[in-house]
Amino acid sequence: MKIVRFCHEGLEHTGFVESDVVYEGDADGGLKTYRLGDVKLLSPVKPSKAVCVGLNYKDHAQEMGEAPEPVLFIKPSTAVIGPCQWIVKPTCCERLDYEGELAVVIKDDIKNVTEQEAKKHILGYTCALDMTARDLQHKDGQWTRAKSFDTFLPIGPWIETDVDPAAGLELKLYVNGELKQSGNTKDMIFGVDKLVSFISSVMTLKGGDVILTGTPAGVGPVKPGDTIRFVIEGIGELENYVK
């Protein structure tokens, strides 16, 4: 199932998508339908926080230096935007980088879950961009400011509940139609179950929180006027624009 949040005639709704039809509500209740092209898709989730994992793909870790356990940082909820929205390059940023990532959406509040328990606490998966002010990251010597600007966390287009990253999902990111990143979730150093367990041992994860699972090699800069399109096999594509 593809779970969505969307706007129609100025009102926000939740529902799900099948083919090019959006159903308002859930499959157990009364449903109202819309054409997909007639609604504006919003970020499919409104997390209290996004917990991000650095250096979790073998090729990217080789570029940057592999870590012995997951490297974590947090992006605030105020960074979240939806599909086809604008990523704003801050005036203080000289280099703005894209990082395409598989995002895990947490189903309910959890703390200290085991790897074996993790799957039952996952609602589904979506696409995300971890936008980074790279020059500020180097200047500050840590990641908070560089990762946390408003619009620096596009998420969408929906939450796919029927997909398994352990089976190997291809990820591809394009800038202005040119392929920049290509990877596969089978190349993650730490799998989804490990990440959910590890992060929940550090902090309580709330229902609706997202975990960004890392990015493959090929990160690079974008500039105002660029279009970023990020595609994950079995999930969908997320497109955003830079200004």
User: Which tens digits make up the pLDDT trace of 207-236?
Assistant: 999 999 999 999 999 999 999 999 999 999
- The per-residue pLDDT for 177 is 98
Tokens linked to 215: 């990015």
pLDDT at position 26? 72
| DSSP letters for 72-134 | EEEEEGGGEE-TT-EEPPPTT-S-EEE-EEEEEEE-S-BSS--TTTGGGGEEEEEEEE--EEH
Instruction: Inform me whether the pLDDT recorded for 61 exceeds 60.
Output: no
**Can you give the pLDDT at residue 31?**
86
Domain boundaries, the chain: 1-42, 45-242
pLDDT category of residue 19 using cuts at 50, 70 and 90: very high
Query: Which architecture characterizes domain 45-242 according to CATH?
Result: Alpha-Beta Complex (3.90)
Q: How far is CA 242 from CA 100, 158, 224, 228, in A?
A: 15, 21, 5, 8
Q: Is the pTM of this model over 0.75?
A: yes
Instruction: Label residue 65 by pLDDT band (50, 70, 90).
Output: low
Q: Residue 76 in contact with residue 145, Cβ under 8 Å?
A: no
Per-residue model confidence as pLDDT tens digits over 97-139 = 999 999 999 999 999 999 999 999 999 999 999 999 999 999 9
Structure confidence at residue 27 (pLDDT) = 66
- The matching CATH number, chosen from 2.30.30.370, 3.20.20.100, 3.40.605.10, 3.40.640.10, for 1-42 is 2.30.30.370
- Rounding to the nearest 10 degrees, give the CA dihedral for residues 51, 120, 164, 26: -90
In angstroms, the CA 223 to CA 154 distance is 16
- Calculate mean pLDDT across residues 31-59: 94
